[in-house]
Amino acid sequence: MSDAYEVTLAATCADPWLTCVPSAIILTMKDRGRDIHLASLSKLCARTYVQYNAGFKQARKPAWVNNSCTDLTHAYMHACAFAKDMGYVLILEDDARLAHRASRADFARVDYGIRALTPRLYTLGSFGITVPTPFALDHARVLCGIFTCSQAIVWSPEARTRLLRHEAFGPNFEHIDGGYLAFVGGTYTYHSPLVVQRLAPTLNSDGWCFFCDNSLLDRTLMMSWKRFLTIFSFDTTDEGWYLLYRLQSVLASSIVASVLMLVLAARNSTPSFSGSTSLERGARLR
């Protein structure tokens, strides 16, 4: 696996914003012209590595690595193998950038949340269905099944090991987000996006999917999702990300309210069994 990759230590930071995540790994391609936002991203962890991927067309890889989506999954697997003996590790894609409203105070709260919640994964900017976390309102739990945008995720050793063992994969493991991250469980996020990406059309985005089952529902949802990204200028600004997180919050509140209403309705419709039953009253009369 390593012949296709080169990993170098790109930066160190004496006063990192995430003290419980000592290392970050930025995934990129060899000979790619895309600029990495190293100056800002290297503030997050004590050590920042860059992993250069030669790509499946230029290097020998397993037979299942035959397109840009599977090549990205394979790159994640190599990064996880490289980080085998590390604790929590932040894995970044090369188009990741700090959101313009993100502050050191936000990352201090994330640092506290990771220590308190001990998540398998903690995403700094993803879309999914979330529910509030009791007693930790800065954080929300991401439910399994729908998950997209993997540009900045803190991985636990368990999550990395499960990926390398091909555990917890969904129906289509080609996609790192919809095929693995959506199903691994124990995933949390912050109440607002901290590390985002500009979602311009790319070769990789042609293979995006939600359920990854090639169903009409999946294709329709993905077409709608891409239209949403275009309307709110995700390719040029960060503002759409804040709208996205507000929508997640509204959706989460709606889910919680619906569950509470169902519970209350069920309780109100349950017949009362307090007092004597008719059989008991009849027995006393006899």
Query: Among 251, 159, 150, 147, which Cα is nearest to 209's?
Result: 147
**What does the alpha-carbon distance between residue 10 and residue 16 come to, in Å, rounded to a whole number?**
15
Give the pLDDT confidence of 138-185 residue by residue, as tens digits: 898 888 766 677 899 999 999 999 999 886 565 566 778 877 888 888
Structure pTM?
0.78
- Select the highest-mean-pLDDT range: 89-103, 119-133, 211-225: 89-103
- 26: DSSP letter: E
> Which residues neighbour 164 within 8 Å (Cβ) at sequence distance 6 or greater?
77, 80, 81
Q: What is the pLDDT of residue 221?
A: 76
**Picking from 91-100, 167-176, 262-271, 273-282, which range would have the lowest pLDDT averaged per residue?**
273-282
Burial class (CB in 10 A: 0-12, 13-18, 19+), 190: buried
What tens digit of pLDDT does each residue of 62-112 get? 988 988 888 999 999 999 999 998 999 999 999 899 998 999 999 999 999
Please, are residues 22 and 154 in contact by the beta-carbon 8 Å criterion? no
First CA to last CA distance, the chain: 85
Note the Cα 20 to chain centre separation in Å. 18
